[in-house]
C-alpha cells in the first residue's frame, strides 16, 4: 500500500503508527505508574521468573551469548557513554527506549531493578552495578574485544531477587572515523530456547538505537 496524499508531515504510515503507539504507551505507563504496572503484571512476572530460575538451574551456571552490533555516525563513543551514565538515573529515559520496558529504576546499592520481556516472558530482575568486580567474568569472554579498539566497556550480571544469576551483559563501544560502533552482547542460560536469545538481540537493537538518538538530540 502506498500513501498517495493527505498528511503533509514527513514520514511513512509506519512512522505515523510508531508515533501513535509510543504516545498511547506513554499515557498508560503514566496513568498506571510503577506500582500499578507491577500489580498488573504480577502473575506474568511470577511465570517469567520461574522460567528464568528453572533455566538457570538446568543450565548449571553456563550461558550462551549473542551480539547485536550497531554503527553510529555523527556521535562519539565517549559522548554516548557519558550520556548513558547520566541517563541511568532518569527512569523516564530508560523506560521510553523500548516498548517492553515496564520498570527500570536504580537501587541504593547501585543495581537497577528491571521489569521487561525476555523473549515472550515478562521478568523482574536486577542489573548489577558496572564495577570492576562485576566485570571480572568478562575477562575470559569470547566476545571481549581489544581495548585499543573498544576502550569503553561495561559488564555485569543479571540476577533475581533471591540472588540467582540468570544472565549477563557485556557492552563495548569503539570510536570510528565517522562516529562509533556498539557491540552489545547478552548471555542467557544455555537451556533457553534460541528464539529467546534472538528476541533479546532485537530488544538490544531497539533500546540502544533509541538511547543513541536521544543522546544525539541532547547534544544538539
Domain of 118: which CATH number? 3.30.530.20
| Residue 126 covered by a domain | yes
**What pLDDT was estimated at residue 132?**
74
pLDDT tens track for 119-173: 999 999 999 987 777 778 999 999 999 999 999 999 999 999 999 999 999 999 9
| Residue 207 covered by a domain | yes
Domain that holds residue 140: 13-219
| Residue 215 covered by a domain | yes
pTM: 0.93
pLDDT tens track for 50-103: 999 999 999 999 999 999 999 999 999 999 999 999 988 899 999 999 999 999
Work out the average pLDDT over 99-127.
95
Tell me the three-class secondary structure of the chain, residue by residue. Answer: CCCCCCCCCCCCHHHHHHHHHHHHHHHHHHHHHHHHHHHHCHHHHHHHHHHHHHHHHHHCCCEEEEEEEEEEECCCHHHHHHHHHHHCCCHHHHHHCCCCEEEEEECCCCCEEEEEEECCEEEEEEECCCCHHHHHHHHHCCCCCCCCCCCEEEEEEEECCCCCEEEEEEEEEEECCCEEEEEEEEEEECCCCHHHHHHHHHHHHHHHHHHHHHHHHHHC
| Residue 138 covered by a domain | yes
| Residue 4 covered by a domain | no
**What pLDDT was estimated at residue 68?**
98
* Position 15 confidence tier, pLDDT thresholds 50, 70, 90: very high
- Is the pLDDT confidence value at 1 over 90? no
**What pLDDT was estimated at residue 175?**
98
Q: How many domains does the chain have?
A: 1
- Is the pLDDT confidence value at 177 over 90? yes
| Residue 128 covered by a domain | yes
| Residue 28 covered by a domain | yes
Amino acid at each position: 500500500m502506498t500513501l498517495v496524499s493527505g498528511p503533509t508531515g514527513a514520514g511513512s504510515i509506519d512512522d505515523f503508527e510508531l508515533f501513535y503507539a509510543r504516545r498511547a504507551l506513554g499515557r498508560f505507563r503514566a496513568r498506571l505508574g510503577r506500582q500499578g504496572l507491577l500489580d498488573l503484571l504480577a502473575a506474568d512476572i511470577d511465570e517469567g521468573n520461574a522460567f528464568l530460575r528453572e533455566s538457570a538451574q538446568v543450565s548449571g551456571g553456563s550461558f550462551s551469548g549473542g551480539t547485536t552490533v550497531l554503527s553510529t555516525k555523527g556521535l562519539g563513543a565517549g559522548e554516548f557513554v557519558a550520556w548513558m551514565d547520566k541517563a541511568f538515573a532518569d527512569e523516564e529515559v530508560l523506560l521510553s527506549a523500548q516498548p517492553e520496558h515496564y520498570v527500570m529504576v536504580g537501587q541504593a546499592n547501585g543495581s537497577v531493578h528491571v521489569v521487561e520481556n525476555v523473549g515472550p516472558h515478562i521478568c523482574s530482575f536486577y542489573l548489577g552495578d558496572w564495577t570492576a568486580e562485576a566485570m571480572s567474568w568478562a575477562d575470559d569472554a569470547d566476545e571481549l574485544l581489544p581495548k585499543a579498539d573498544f576502550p569503553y566497556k561495561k559488564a555485569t550480571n543479571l540476577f533475581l531477587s533471591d540472588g540467582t544469576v540468570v544472565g549477563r551483559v557485556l557492552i563495548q563501544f569503539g570510536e570510528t572515523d565517522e562516529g562509533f560502533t556498539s557491540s552489545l552482547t547478552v548471555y542467557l542460560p544455555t537451556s533457553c530456547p534460541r528464539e529467546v536469545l534472538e528476541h533479546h538481540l532485537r530488544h538490544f537493537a531497539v533500546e540502544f538505537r533509541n538511547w543513541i538518538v536521544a543522546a544525539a538530540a541532547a547534544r544538539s
